[in-house]
Amino acid sequence: MFWQEKTLEQMTHEEWESLCDGCGKCCLHKLIDEDDQQEVIHYTDVSCRLLNTKTGFCSDYANRKRHVPDCVVITPANVYDLDYMPPSCAYRRLAEGRGLASWHPLLHDGDRGPMMAAGMSAAGLVDSEDQVTEDLELRIVTWPLNDSD
C-alpha cells in the first residue's frame, strides 16, 4: 500500500493519479460568502461542464485545462493549500494525515461500489453548469462536506 509507505511527494505519477476516487466533488461550483470573515466555502450541486453527471468522471480529464482554464490540477506541491477540497478527498485526507477512507476504491480492488454506497460520489446528484439557469446561491448543498470512514 504505497500511500502508507510514501509521502505524497515520493509517489509516482500513476500512484498519485490512482488516489483520485472519481467522486466528482472537486468539480462542483463553490461559493465563498463575502460577508463572512472566515471565508466559509459553500458547495453547490452544479458541476463543471466537463463532469459526466451520471458517472462522476471528467469527460476529458487529459485535456481539462484546455477546456476549463481555471480547473485546478491537484499536485503534491499545492495539495496542502487547497482547503476547499471536500473533506472526503483522498488527497486532502492524506495531506492531513488521515489515511484513505474505508470505502476508497484502492481498498476494494478498484471497485467504486463501496464509495457509491457510502454516498461519497456526485454521480446522479448534480446538474451541469450548461443546464442551470438559476443563481448558484439557490443551489447550495451540504452533502459534499460529508466524510465517512
Residue 147 lies in a domain: no
Output the average pLDDT for the chain. 94
Least confident stretch, 2-11, 13-22, 35-44, 52-61: 35-44
Count of domains for the chain: 1
Whether 98 has a pLDDT exceeding 80, the answer reads yes
Neighbours of 59 (CB within 10 A): 15
**Distance between CA atoms of residues 110 and 31, nearest Å:** 32
Residue 142 lies in a domain: no
Residue 146 lies in a domain: no
Residue 89 lies in a domain: yes
Sign, CA torsion 95/17/28/113? negative
| Higher pLDDT pick, 37 / 136 | 136
Residue 148 lies in a domain: no
Residue for cell digits 480529464? Answer: 61
Residue 145 lies in a domain: no
Q: By C-alpha distance, which of 76, 53, 70, 51 is closest to 61? A: 51
Report field, pTM of the whole predicted structure over 0.85: yes
Its domain, for residue 43, covers: 2-137
Residue 81 lies in a domain: yes
